[in-house]
Amino acid sequence: MPLGVAGGDQPREGDVASLDLTHADVERRYGVSRREFMTFCAGIAATLGLPNSAIAQVADAIVSKQRPSVIWLHHQECTGCTESLLRAEHPTLETLILDIVSLDYHETLFAAAGHQVEAARKAAMAKNKGKYLLVVEGAIPLKDGGIYCKIGGQTSLELTREVAADAAAIIAIGSCASWGGMPATDPNPTGSAGVAEALGRKDIVTIPGCPSNPYNFLATVVHFLTFGKLPPTDSLGRPLFAYSRLIHENCERRAHFDAGRFALEFGDEGHRKGYCLYKLGCKGPMTYANCSIVHFGDVGMQSWPIGTGHPCIGCSEQGVGFSKPIHALADLVGQRPPATYPGVVEAQGHGATTAAAALVSGAVGLAIGASVKLTRLLAANERASASAKAEDRPAQSAKE
């Protein structure tokens, strides 16, 4: 898909008519054509579960709103979330993110160091008091007074508390900042915790993943820009637009799961044919994320773990990623019918589009989308098994 957003709906002329943005403006600012830019905005709107009518609003917010100041802290982590954001193949993603926000403090990206950057952070905090976004990447060690991670002479906890005090909103990016991630793996020698636990706050938006999907971060920031607030979340602080459905529900291999076709070993015939990876330990059935809809890595379609042939390890799910053995079978509880790709008995090409699935994944369409898909699937299943039985009968009689 253009600009790496699977599920992006194509904008129509009417959607963009209100936007006073010329081709030259867009090309100069983002290095892409106006159509590519609007397609990108459509993808972000679809990711957020917004209707086509919101595309112009999103584009308008990206282009014209004052860029919010962002203070980005790093603690116990590998910097993978920042890397995945910057290593996106298409230059537009990081260009857009860095254009949408005013990145006033980022320990990895700043050319300056030491007292200079600390002074820049304090100046940005004072200038934008109560209005800046705090983005936290990495877990916060709490054991032994938090001495296992210090920045500029402060522990991670002290620094985060100081910056959080006057932030308009806090985003925890990646599994480490969301719930501890890899650093909190047993036996968790430094007492690592996610930001919400460390600060004792419940109003923090978390975007777990290892790394987190940069498009989910971008969509969250665009939501803040467009509507002046962070998107609605579940009880773990995860935006509903991205984490309300199991990966298994939208997986491109789901039809094979339903048909009982599994890869049993890496490289076997089932694996080469793209069968379901459940028996190789795929945690898609117990992991809530939109990886299967909003691919990432920008290496073309199917650029996500399962798309490349590796089982999901549940990197975004607390209690699954880095906890459950990689090849242990996933729990199959509370399963719902496939939401994106056609079921095994549905004719190819008649399933929901990825964009439609992204929309039904949104809070508004969730219940309706699920029940419509369920009804359609059950009806199709019944039709298919009736016709399969009819076809089998003569063959069976001949054998007898």
Cβ of residue 283: shortest distance to ligand SF4, in angstroms?
Answer: 8
Of the candidates 65, 53, 11, the one whose C-alpha atom is nearest the C-alpha of residue 33 is: 11
Say if residues 170 and 205 touch (Cβ distance below 8 Å): yes
Cβ of residue 330: shortest distance to ligand F3S, in angstroms?
Answer: 11
Secondary structure of residue 19 in the 3-state scheme: coil
Single-letter amino acid code for the residue at 8? G
Task: Please give the structure tokens belonging to residue 157.
Answer: 């906890």
> Is residue 294 close enough to count as binding ligand F3S by CB under 6 A?
no
> Is residue 247 close enough to count as binding ligand SF4 by CB under 6 A?
yes
The strand ranges marked E within 257-333 are: none
Single-letter amino acid code for the residue at 132? Y
Stretch that binds ligand F3S, among 19-27, 140-148, 310-318, 344-352 (CB under 6 A): 310-318
> Is residue 316 close enough to count as binding ligand F3S by CB under 6 A?
yes
The strand ranges marked E within the chain are: 69-74, 102-106, 133-137, 140-141, 150-151, 154-155, 169-173, 192-193, 205-207
Closest-by-Cβ residue to ligand SF4 is 284
Say if residues 73 and 135 touch (Cβ distance below 8 Å): yes
Alpha carbon of 90 to those of 20, 82, 101, 250: distances in Å?
A: 25, 15, 19, 25
Among 30, 37, 215, 304, binds ligand F3S (CB under 6 A): 304
d(CA 283, CA 330): 5
Task: Please give the structure tokens belonging to residue 31.
Answer: 């290095």
285 binds, among ligand SF4, ligand F3S, none (CB under 5 to 8 A by kind): ligand SF4
254 binds, among ligand F3S, ligand SF4, none (CB under 5 to 8 A by kind): ligand SF4
In the block, residue with structure tokens 């030259």: 24
Of the pair 237, 305, the CB lying nearest ligand F3S is at 305
257 binds, among ligand F3S, ligand SF4, none (CB under 5 to 8 A by kind): ligand SF4
Stretch that binds ligand SF4, among 88-96, 219-227, 245-253, 362-370 (CB under 6 A): 245-253
Say if residues 143 and 149 touch (Cβ distance below 8 Å): no
Among 315, 344, 355, 357, binds ligand F3S (CB under 6 A): 315
Alpha carbon of 231 to those of 41, 251, 382, 387: distances in Å?
A: 17, 24, 39, 46
Among 34, 254, 295, 373, binds ligand SF4 (CB under 6 A): 254
Among 19, 171, 230, 306, binds ligand F3S (CB under 6 A): 306
The alpha carbons of the chain give a radius of gyration, in whole angstroms, of: 23
d(CA 335, CA 357): 17
Among 231, 284, 342, 351, binds ligand SF4 (CB under 6 A): 284
Cβ of residue 277: shortest distance to ligand SF4, in angstroms?
Answer: 4
Q: How many residues bind ligand F3S (CB under 6 A)?
A: 13
> Is residue 248 close enough to count as binding ligand SF4 by CB under 6 A?
yes
Residues that bind ligand F3S (CB under 6 A): 209, 247, 287, 289, 291, 304-306, 312-316
